[in-house]
């Protein structure tokens, strides 16, 4: 497992909770320690993706808020209980 791998997810023009759902589904494909950078246009993602990370044990490395886009970078935590 390398923490060097940077994965990208483009959820621009999608409204919450879709960015969260797509982040959740993408993270499920990744291994612990891998890094995912999510680009969104819904400003709500700036609250929702970090909240989702906190409750599911993933680490938010950075959030960036631009005029039109927000970017959340996270590191995948321990695998979750399968539901």
Partner 1 sequence: MSEAVAPVTRPSADPLQRRAIALVSGGLDSMLAVKVMQEQGIHVEGVNFFTGFCVEGHTHAIRKKDKDKNKRNNALWVAEELGIKLHIIDISEEYKDVVLNPKHGYGAHLNPCLDCKIFMVNQATLMLNKARELAGEKGFDFIITGEVVGQRPKSQRKETMPIISSESGADDRLLRPLSALNLPETLPEREGWVDRSRLHDFSGRNRKPQIELARRFGLEDYAQPSGGCCFLTDESYSRKLADLWQARNERRYELDDIMLLKVGRHIRPQPHLKLIISREEGENRFLEGYRYQFTSLTTVSCPGPLALVDGRFESEAELEQAAAIVARYSKGRGDESVTVEVKDPGGVAREVRVAPARPDDIPKNWLVA
- Which stretches of the chain bind partner 1, using CB under 8 A? 5, 13, 15-18, 20-21, 24, 28-32, 34, 42-44, 46-48, 51-52, 54-56, 68, 79-83
In the chain, % helix, strand, coil (3-state, to 5) comes to 30, 30, 40
CA distance 13 to 32: 28
- Annotated catalytic residues are 16
DSSP label of 31: P
Residue 79 gets which letter from DSSP?
A: P
Least distance in Å: CB of 19 to partner 1?
Answer: 10
Nearer to partner 1, 61 or 79 (CB): 79
Rounded least distance, CB 32 to partner 1, Å: 8
Specify the DSSP class assigned to residue 74: E
**Minimum CB–partner distance for residue 63 and partner 1 (Å):** 14
């Amino acid at each position: 497992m390398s923490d060097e791998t940077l994965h990208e997810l483009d959820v621009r023009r999608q409204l919450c909770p879709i960015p969260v759902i797509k982040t959740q589904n993408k993270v499920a494909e990744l291994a612990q320690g891998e890094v995912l950078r999510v680009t969104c246009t819904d400003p709500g993602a700036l609250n929702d993706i970090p909240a989702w990370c906190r409750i599911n044990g993933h680490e938010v490395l950075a959030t960036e808020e631009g005029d039109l886009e927000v970017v959340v970078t996270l590191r995948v935590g321990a695998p979750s209980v399968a539901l």
